[in-house]
Structure 1
Amino acid sequence: MAVIALLSDWIKSQKIKGPQMKDAPTFYRSLEEALDLRRADHSMFTNHKSAWKLGTSIDFCSNDMLSLGTSGEIRRTFLDELTANPNFAMYSGGSRLMDGNYDYIEGVEAEIAAFHGAETALIVGSGYEANTAIYGAVPRPGDAIVYDELVHASTHDGMTHSLAQCRIQFRHNDVDALRDAISSVLDSQPMIVDGSRSILISVESVYSMDGDICPLLEMLEVAKEMCPLGNAVFIVDEAHATGILGPKGAGLVSQLGVEKDIAIRLHTCGKALASTGGNSNLSSGIAAILGSATVRSVIMNFARYVIYTTAPSFPTVAGIRAAYSMMITGNTQKYQDNLQHVVRHFFKSIESNKHWSKASEMGILSIPVIEDWAERDFNAHIVPLKTRQRYNWWLVFHLQLASISAFPIDYPTVPRGQSRIRLMFHAANTEEQVETLASAICSWAAEMIEIEEGAEGAKKMPKAAHQVYALMAANA
């Protein structure tokens, strides 16, 4: 069974190795001891092939949210793009500032900018690299960065290279906390008060681990109120909104019609658009930075990544154009709509399960974004599924053995004590698959209710965990 083989490989990868390396060279022993800290929490990252790719499990984990990859839609459009440009080069020839610029990439950037209602777009190698470029190049000495506490790891890495020494975080999606953070900056930075320096406010439209939406309109109002000179500007990471939210998938900013109020936007192509890039949480595939001509010039002159990296080649950019052409023509709208349908069907299915209410009341199951789902116009494709921290892996084992591909998100990707299973829904998921997922979650919860209530004859551990721990013992 593919799932058993996957779990067996994972179990082997989590074995502590340091104690067996007493006679090994110090260099390698030290590295294994560092990895042992991850293994001790069953949180060491390893390469694996998800069972859904083998056709033996249902995909509730990948980033192919519009199912353009699995359906073959993006491949067909990409091949059409190559056919229309038969003399394309396989290489770009250098960085964008040297020999790596060419007409095709400039044309695609212009199309992307027009689609999103931006002045310019700059294609870069990945969403991660885009954020490091933005925050490493744009803030000037004396500027301040105010950021949501849950912004992506790439934003944090970019800020470490920033010239802005004043950086203040605020509570996630909390408008009052943003107000307090801006007030703190104004109290300590007279050059921002007099308008000679700026506050850069960093948020995401859809948050990758929590699946909730930024209250952007309210935040814009606060910024305008507190900085009437107009020197509080927003940087919005739309990585998980691209293709999913807004008119034809143009994103939250376009949905709200505030394109002119946002200084910089980041859109990635390796998630919903499936054009390039992988499913890793730390890599977002090829990306486009949207902003003014001035912002583009600053990034090209001061972002070391852009200056010293070879430009994307024609085949890579053709993949982006294929994805954007599908959005521009409205060909992705049906996938956008169906994705909303399956997410809503999941919420309906799990809430109607006879075990949901009790499991929720007891704290055994929690889905923070399920509240008021029926009243919302938009429900994100990312649904965090939480349980007691000590149960998280037990629920993972149960889902895996039920032929459902869903994986835990642990520290350091999320804060300690905030582990969860991140469910990712796709346009190609069916109602039956969604019902299977809801049923599997609640059947596990029913086991846990019995265990916690201490019913006579009840086991101390759910069935799936028994199976996996027995497998661990056999591989010890």
Structure 2
Amino acid sequence: MEGTSHSDSLLSHNGTIITRIQGNRVRPNSTNTLPTFYQNLEDALDIRRASHSFYSVVQNNWQNSDAVDFCSGDILSLGKSPDRRAEFLKEFDRHPDFSIGSSGVRLMDGNHTYLEQTEQEIADFHGAQTGLIVGSAYEANIAVWTSIPRPGDVILYDSLVHASTHEGIKQSLAMSHVEFPHSDIESFRSTLLEILDSQSLVRQGKRSVIVAVESIYSMDGDVCPLEELLEVAREVLPDGNIQFIVDEAHSVGVIGPMGSGLVCKLGLQKDIAVVVHSFGKALGATGAIILGNQTVKSTIINFSRSVMYTTSPSFPFVAAIKSGYTLLKSGCMSEAQDHIQRLCVLFFETLENHPLWPLARERELLSVPLARGWEDRPFQTHIITVSTHQNYTYWLFFHLLSQSLCVFPVEHPVVPRTSNFWYMRFSCG
């Protein structure tokens, strides 16, 4: 595809625009000859098509054309970095007798020294006692929430936590699950007081409240007011039977000392019970790690079915992760991290200085929530959401694609109806 123009790529038979338009066409009577099993599946898909919320796997236009990438998760460009590739291959040279596979689950033959050493190195980097590497951040959140909450505990979660957290909470043993409005400190306080009033075991200090938040929220790109939430938690439950689980999928590699994340940036390592870091974004690898103390790790190993019955990470899998951390710890990614900050500032300055921005904002033709008060933030996040009138979300999306700007539309069922938007992720590549 080298040399392919962006417009040709978009309008080809398998290009983004054609694929999305054709994918959302309902095909009445086209499944009548299919067996019942497939008819029922197509009926369910037709409901998606009728609501224009049918997803298709499309070409990554930024990879095979001259388009500008605003949707890749490779924030630091580590996934395609020659230095990263060289460091990755060095791991094979250092361990020439490595096994390609892992040969079993973690509790049996799947455990190996290289895996344990890497887990401890990552835990040390983030100021945690120990860690457990798993196959993905989704798997990590399922493992955490299906094993950590005990019967009688209460889970208190931010309304915008990730789908994997919601799924894990549904499967948990907690007595109840309570949502509080996104990053609303006073609502968090009032909800905690209601829990304290209604749950005698929590009030007596025999059961815990477990709080689920994200450091940088994947849908809105805003930062969790973690210090303020901790302050309220200590005030309402001074006996310590409230603990936080922080999903740092979008902050690792980007913020904090050497990219260690929000918890480390705020110096809260000793105040957070569990931290989940994803490797599929800024680290340019795959997988995730669950950080905590030995009690947390033992609990997950003993009670998380997704860990107990899953093949453990192989040497190549772990080597990709370790090589990314080697570069982070060396400090050589600081320029890339600073560049992301400069790009975000440039975006906000350009937006505010555009002559049509005041009119577009006044008429609600365009909304960029993070543009409000961006100058007052100590740092910017690389995720920025943009919305327009709901009926025009796809029109604007296609227009941006035609201008060689690759963004991604987010719509129902990922977000509530009437809340469609598209979001951009800035990267240094």
Q: The TM-score by the shorter chain falls in which range? A: over 0.9
Task: Provide the residue aligned with 2:11 in structure 1.
Answer: 4
CA deviations over 1:330-353 (Å, ceiling 9, x no partner): 121111110111111111111111
- Report the Cα distance in structure 1 between the residues aligned to 2:189 and 2:11, rounded to whole angstroms: 51
1:183 counterpart = 2:193:
yes
Alpha-carbon distance in 1 for matches of 2:27, 2:44: 10
Aligned residues between the structures: 419
The equivalent of 1:450 in structure 2 is none
Cα distance in 2 for partners of 1:25, 1:234 equals 49
Which residues in structure 2 correspond to 1:126-145 (within 5 Å)?
126-145=136-155
The SS at the match of 1:20 is coil
Shift of 1:18: 4.3
Name the amino acid aligned to 1:425: F
d(CA) in 2 for partners of 1:410 and 1:22?
30
TM-score calculated relative to the size of structure 2: 0.96
Matched-pair contact (CA < 8 Å) for 1:2–1:56: no
Q: Which residue of 2 aligns with 1:67?
A: 77
Question: 2-side partners of 1:60 and 1:71: how far apart?
Answer: 18
Letter in 1 for 2:344: V
Task: Report deviation, 1:413.
Answer: 1.2
Instruction: Decide which moves more: 406-415 or 212-221.
Output: 406-415
2:27 maps to amino acid: K
Q: Cα offset for 1:318?
A: 0.4
In the alignment, does 2:325 pair up with 1:318?
Answer: no
**What is the Cα deviation at residue 23 of structure 1?**
3.5
Partner of 2:418: 417
Q: Is the 8 A contact 2:9 2:65 kept in 1?
A: no
Aligned residue in 2 for 1:269:
279
Partners of 2:393 and 2:422 within 8 A in 1: yes
Structure 1 stretch 205-214 or stretch 26-35: which is displaced more?
26-35
**d(CA) in 2 for partners of 1:370 and 1:180?**
29
Q: Is the 8 A contact 1:74 1:275 kept in 2?
A: no
CA distance in 2, matches of 1:85, 1:99: 19
Deviations 1:434-475 (A, max 9, x none): xxxxxxxxxxxxxxxxxxxxxxxxxxxxxxxxxxxxxxxxxx
- Unaligned 5+ segments in structure 1 are 277-285, 429-476
Structure-1 separation of matches of 2:33 and 2:320: 50
State the distance in 1 between where 2:137 and 2:122 align. 15
Aligned to 2:409: 408
Q: Where does the alignment leave 5 or more consecutive residues of structure 2 unmatched?
A: 1-7
TM alignment of 1:109-188, pairs within 5 A: 109-188=119-198
Aligned amino acid, residue 54 of structure 1:
N
Residue 54 (structure 1) shift: 0.4
**Secondary structure of 2:265's partner?**
helix
RMSD: 1.1
Helix, strand or coil at the partner of 2:38: helix
After superposition, what is the alpha-carbon deviation per residue over 1:137-179, rounded to whole angstroms, capped at 9, x for unaligned? Answer: 0100100000001100000111111100211000001111111
User: Could you tell me which residue of structure 1 aligns to residue 99 of structure 2?
Assistant: 89
SS at match of 2:213: strand
Identity of aligned residues (%): 47
Amino acid across the alignment from 2:9: A
Aligned residue number for residue 52 of structure 1: 62
Question: Does the residue aligned with 1:229 lie in a helix, a strand or coil?
Answer: coil
Match status 1:295 vs 2:302: no
Aligned-pair distance for 1:33?
Answer: 1.2
Does the 8 Å contact 1:4/1:401 carry over to 2?
Answer: no
